[in-house]
Structure 1
Amino acid sequence: MTTNKRSFLPEHFEIKFETIEPFYKELLDREIDSVETLIHWMRDRSELEAALEEDFAWRYIKMTCDTTDEKLLADFQYFATEIEPKIAPHTNELNKKFIASPFVEQLDQQKYFIYIRSLKKQLELFREKNIQLLSDLQVEQQKFAAISGAMSVEINGKEYTLEQAANFLKDTDRTVRKEAYDKITARRAQDKDKLDDLYTSLIKLRHQVAKNADFENYRDYAFAALGRFDYTKEDCFAFHEAIEKVVVPILAEQAEVRRETLKLDKLKPWDTDVDVTGKPALKPFNNGQELLDKSILCFEKLHPYMGSCLKTMKEKHLVDLESRKGKAPGGYNYPLAETGMPFIFMNSANSFRDLTTMVHEGGHAVHTFISSDLELNDFKHLTSEVAELASMSMELISMDHWDEFFTNDEDLLRAKRDQLKDVLKTLPWVAIIDCFQHWVYTHPEHTTAERTQAWTGIYKRFGAGFVEWTDYESVMQSIWQKQLHLFEVPFYYIEYAIAQLGAIAVWKNFKQHPEKAVEDYLAALKLGYTKTIGDIYKTAGIEFNFSKKYISDLMDFVKAELKKLN
């Protein structure tokens, strides 16, 4: 948990292209005459790239913490437009130099397999004419944060961010819920056309990137760029079908029970979050400080190392947890490549969902800490299926210690039930977003109307939220616009479902042998991305599997656990 000391770069210098270019040139010109000098070269390159990544990280973090500050936006855009495009050709030349070295064959092929495979793929994908396009995308996609961060509504004479206003959707008074829902959706509708236009422009840019790299469409390019060596688009289609056949019926059944329990003729969109027992919404903490402190205690009970990670973040002020106007939406854990610690950003409105977000991001944080000592920066460039296994497993294995948040046994049971129901709800929503992206990027010339029609068909295929949308069809047709990933990290979503299955399997092991399951989990995280996904999952004591039978078996387990909580 200590800052990595530099040996190649000066300890302190301002990061601009002019100051970093000499280090790229030195690496490119340096003679490599043995496997030892090659490894030294790799470590120096790693140090340079880590410094750049951390500089970019802070620009992004500061910008998302305050989207209204024009200087912070300009600082971010400077990196995206003046540094990244200029270092891209140098990075490609370094990749060429490495792959061409005769000493690559003398490296430990098992240790460096993932690294070598990654650099070869980067070489395949690099196109000079994509440099400016990728820079334009960096700037363009951040407009989503500015648009969304400016959204707020007034309820009972007080201004709320949309995250804060969502708490009213848990109110036991249906009139209050409907009023909040109407205000939230009306506010989103104000920027519907703006977000449609933004998404259209992003699709156009991404399609051109794919064509430049000799791919038929951006979907196929994204699979290569994301390093999806372990599964194919056909596997994704099979996964969508498995979710439709196995999970959607479970949720449809639960929706019917909800409707009957609430004594409603029809479930409406504002009826899905209220507790069916008629009890007020769970409130596990009162503010961001309390959320962090209780999370530290929860993690310490699970494993002392985990608690120490969050404690360090608190001491170093590496968190920004509470929702406020002008802050970008969503939540993330951003690894700081040099210091070996992360920053957690989220939009807490003091709700139960914020508790699960915190432990989710906390799982990512533990991953950052435990893999920080790996030899090369590239070893910490996690594939999403591995990264999300860390976070989604933490949501489940931490539940045994949620008594730090709920002193009342009945509230604790409610929280666990809600969490498991959220686990089930996650799978179809991921399938919807993934399926939608497959359509969007394989039909790049589509109109807004065609996109709306495609979304509607896909959403209905997976239950359309299991509610009745009469008079709210336009809301349903644009509900995808709230999903940050579509705008900022395209095709990064199926990983949540794959990792969710892995997390359930980790939790299943935890229920049987808690200490061993936690040790296996930490052992998997410690690998970073130095092994294949399958090997990392195996280290965690689980399978890398998202077949229909596997999904069915895991859903039976979740249903059985839910039954125990009733």
Structure 2
Amino acid sequence: MIQEIKPAPRHFLDQGFTVKEWSQIEPYFQQLLVRNLDSVEALKQWFKDRSELESVLSEDMAWRYIRMTCDTTDDKIREAFEFFVSEIEPKIAPLANELNKKALESPHLGALRKEIGYDIMIRSMEKDFKNFREKNIPIQTEIQKESQRFGAISGAMSVTIAGKEFTLQQAAVLLQETDRAKREKVYRQIADRRLQDKDTLNELYTKLIQLRHQVAVNADYENFRDYMFSAMGRFDYSPTDCFDFHISVEVEVVPFLHEFAQRRKETLGVDALRPWDKAVDPEGKQPLKPFDGGKDLTSKTIECFNRLDPFLGDCLKTMEKMGHLDLESRKGKAPGGYNYPLAETGVPFIFMNATSTVRDMVTILHEGGHAVHSFLTRDMELNDFKNTPSEVAELASMSMELLSMDHWDVYFSNPEELKRAKKEHLEQIIETLPWVAAIDKFQHWIYENPEHGLHERLFIWNEIHDAFSDEVTDWSGLEEQKKHVWQKQLHLFEVPFYYIEYGMAQLGAIAVWKNFKEDPKKGLEGYMNALKLGYTRSIPEVYAAANIKFDFSREYIKELMDFVKQELDALN
């Protein structure tokens, strides 16, 4: 069993070093800058020492972010985060660029390029050096500060229902209630609360678009989309591939939404299917409740993972023991959920806003997949080898949602409830792909047209939303809410262009699950083998290690959707 894990002994930094002031940090960068790299071995050790320094700084920044999202109301915590963003990171950036330059000029780099993992790392280093502009440092600092405002604005949103205050996540659970009038009232309260901040969020987004476009222009790119494709290291696909994905989803997946919505409308027996009718059980059954509170969710998830493979259960046990789980929704907590890797310790932190829903259960399974990925790569030689691209990271998390399904009886002892939960999740997967395509297509348009006005933005969003939504749901009287529904997607504000990965990885996860259904032992081994590679291979090679394809053509999407539909039919 995994016990409490401590960071490996430091060899370059002092063992007791903690981040307080820049004056403590700079000497380590200077040592690396002046070191003589007179052999392949010296260059390799230099990379290891640099990795140690970057891991320590990364973990310190991680904890500042984690504490801030756990409590958005604490000014001291926010100030600690902002200190790192404004006083530490801007000073690291030019020195990191100098270190890249030093490494790239080394005559011994060619020999290292032939070693597994180093070729991928050097490729990324070359693109970082190409994109670096010193004049972008203050702009990127401002972007980071501004983007965090989204969490504070969203975290402060709440509604009062029957005299009790709810976060919007908690209130959303009530949309599963069988009383339609109550659902409508709750839906309108949530939507109206979001609309109270629509102007603030529109202004924030406009400012972020302008700042990001300036970064791109400064780095000699035509637009921020093209800059981000390079900055994110998207070596294995292009914007054109994304457009192909959009078309494939619209043609092959959206028709399922029409079918689901029509069936829901008929089962509910309503004249018009309204947005508040989408979460309730169509047969009038009470909402599923897979757990009762954070502790129950934790223990059940550990058991679920343990059944799949004892190593997986031990990963979550270790995180629980180390206090690396914050699962329940509460006022003042930032929205959303994440698994934050801790680069030096190697034991990540899971943050989420659980209430009591199936969606919350899936979220812990999803973030748990990310966590397992961290454990499987924690002993890799360099931190860069662990920093997988999102297309691989999300494969880890989304596959875990499906691989764990055989053990969901941990959450549902009633066979009928278990069947309902599985059905809900598989339908959710199909429904997620169009939303991913919509958000991604919206971002492409936003940054291809950075000078657009607000009216044009909302008009384009409406067009995109309609193309990737069912034709059955009636939005009459809710036009303003529909125009702004994109504002709930934190990725648009905080991590631009990090979204299509969910779609690509979802396809990969379905393929992993398909393999697992055919041969559980071989399917799980393929999944684990792929994750163990970290980022020492290209994305297509990592997918191939899991015995799946990195492919989002119409034909492949149709094949995978047919498989999911087959599994859904088996549950009916």
Cα separation, 1, equivalents of 2:115 and 2:34:
28
Answer with 460-469 or 437-446: which moved more.
460-469
Counting only pairs closer than 5 Å after superposition, residues 329-340 of structure 1 correspond to structure 2 as: 329-340=335-346
Counting only pairs closer than 5 Å after superposition, residues 276-355 of structure 1 correspond to structure 2 as: 276-355=282-361
Cα separation, 1, equivalents of 2:47 and 2:59:
18
Answer with 4-13 or 383-392: which moved more.
4-13
Give 2:278's match in structure 1, choosing from 272, 275, 283: 272
Aligned to 2:533: 527
- Asked if 2 retains the 8 angstrom alpha-carbon contact of 1:389 and 1:499, the reply is yes
Cα separation, 1, equivalents of 2:429 and 2:164:
33
Aligned to 1:23: 28
Aligned to 1:400: 406
Shift of the alpha carbon at 1:382?
Answer: 1.1
- Asked if 2 retains the 8 angstrom alpha-carbon contact of 1:4 and 1:340, the reply is no
Deviations 1:391-420 (A, max 9, x none): 000000101000100000000000000000
**3-state DSSP of counterpart to 1:341:** coil
Shift of the alpha carbon at 1:178?
Answer: 0.3
Task: Note closer, same or farther for the CA distance 1:22–1:466 as it changes in structure 2 (3 Å cut).
Answer: farther
Q: Does 1:60 align with 2:65?
A: yes
Aligned to 1:470: 476
Deviations 1:528-550 (A, max 9, x none): 11100001001111111111000
Aligned to 2:192: 186
Shift of the alpha carbon at 1:442?
Answer: 0.7
- In structure 2, the gaps of 5 or more residues are none
1:565 is aligned with what amino acid? L
Shift of the alpha carbon at 1:464?
Answer: 5.8
Q: Does 1:8 align with 2:3?
A: no
Shift of the alpha carbon at 1:14?
Answer: 2.9
- Asked if 1 retains the 8 angstrom alpha-carbon contact of 2:438 and 2:464, the reply is yes
Cα separation, 2, equivalents of 1:57 and 1:237:
34
Shift of the alpha carbon at 1:2?
Answer: 4.3
Cα separation, 2, equivalents of 1:346 and 1:557:
30
Cα separation, 2, equivalents of 1:62 and 1:466:
43
- Asked if 1 retains the 8 angstrom alpha-carbon contact of 2:254 and 2:470, the reply is no
Counting only pairs closer than 5 Å after superposition, residues 480-559 of structure 1 correspond to structure 2 as: 480-559=486-565
Deviations 1:451-485 (A, max 9, x none): 10110011011126851110000000000000000
Q: Does 1:90 align with 2:95?
A: yes
Aligned to 1:238: 244
Cα separation, 2, equivalents of 1:477 and 1:447:
14
- Asked if 1 retains the 8 angstrom alpha-carbon contact of 2:249 and 2:434, the reply is yes
Identical pairs, percent: 58
Cα separation, 1, equivalents of 2:471 and 2:487:
15
Counting only pairs closer than 5 Å after superposition, residues 365-444 of structure 1 correspond to structure 2 as: 365-444=371-450
Q: Does 1:129 align with 2:135?
A: yes
Shift of the alpha carbon at 1:13?
Answer: 2.2
Cα separation, 2, equivalents of 1:365 and 1:80:
25
- Asked if 1 retains the 8 angstrom alpha-carbon contact of 2:288 and 2:357, the reply is yes
Cα separation, 1, equivalents of 2:461 and 2:340:
31
Aligned Cα RMSD in Å?
Answer: 0.8
Runs of 4+ in 1 over 4 A off after TM superposition: none
**3-state DSSP of counterpart to 1:7:** coil
- Asked if 1 retains the 8 angstrom alpha-carbon contact of 2:339 and 2:367, the reply is yes
Cα separation, 2, equivalents of 1:33 and 1:543:
42
Answer with 1-10 or 187-196: which moved more.
1-10
**3-state DSSP of counterpart to 2:397:** helix
Shift of the alpha carbon at 1:519?
Answer: 1.1
Cα separation, 1, equivalents of 2:162 and 2:50:
56
**3-state DSSP of counterpart to 1:375:** coil
**3-state DSSP of counterpart to 1:123:** helix
Cα separation, 2, equivalents of 1:58 and 1:436:
32
Counting only pairs closer than 5 Å after superposition, residues 108-127 of structure 1 correspond to structure 2 as: 109-111=114-116, 112-127=118-133
Cα separation, 2, equivalents of 1:5 and 1:155:
52
Report the TM-score when normalising by structure 2: 0.98
- Asked if 2 retains the 8 angstrom alpha-carbon contact of 1:521 and 1:540, the reply is yes
- Asked if 1 retains the 8 angstrom alpha-carbon contact of 2:113 and 2:122, the reply is no
Cα separation, 2, equivalents of 1:466 and 1:525:
40
Shift of the alpha carbon at 1:11?
Answer: 1.2
Cα separation, 1, equivalents of 2:12 and 2:462:
54
1:80 is aligned with what amino acid? V
Aligned to 2:48: 43
Cα separation, 1, equivalents of 2:89 and 2:248:
41
- Asked if 2 retains the 8 angstrom alpha-carbon contact of 1:199 and 1:487, the reply is yes
- Asked if 2 retains the 8 angstrom alpha-carbon contact of 1:17 and 1:87, the reply is no
Give 1:105's match in structure 2, choosing from 101, 110, 113: 110
Deviations 1:336-382 (A, max 9, x none): 00000100000001111100000000000000111011100111111
- Asked if 2 retains the 8 angstrom alpha-carbon contact of 1:385 and 1:496, the reply is yes
Cα separation, 1, equivalents of 2:157 and 2:212:
27
Aligned to 2:77: 72
Deviations 1:264-311 (A, max 9, x none): 111100000101121011000010111011000000000111000000
- Asked if 2 retains the 8 angstrom alpha-carbon contact of 1:240 and 1:435, the reply is yes
Cα separation, 2, equivalents of 1:406 and 1:469:
34
**3-state DSSP of counterpart to 2:17:** coil
2:247 is aligned with what amino acid? E
Report the TM-score when normalising by structure 1: 0.99
**3-state DSSP of counterpart to 2:159:** strand
- Asked if 1 retains the 8 angstrom alpha-carbon contact of 2:191 and 2:481, the reply is yes
Answer with 457-466 or 121-130: which moved more.
457-466
2:542 is aligned with what amino acid? I
Q: Does 1:361 align with 2:363?
A: no
1:245 is aligned with what amino acid? V
- Asked if 1 retains the 8 angstrom alpha-carbon contact of 2:257 and 2:470, the reply is no
**3-state DSSP of counterpart to 2:348:** strand
1:218 is aligned with what amino acid? F
Cα separation, 2, equivalents of 1:216 and 1:261:
50
Q: Does 1:176 align with 2:176?
A: no
Task: Note closer, same or farther for the CA distance 1:78–1:384 as it changes in structure 2 (3 Å cut).
Answer: same
**3-state DSSP of counterpart to 1:485:** helix
Cα separation, 1, equivalents of 2:12 and 2:470:
55
- In structure 1, the gaps of 5 or more residues are none
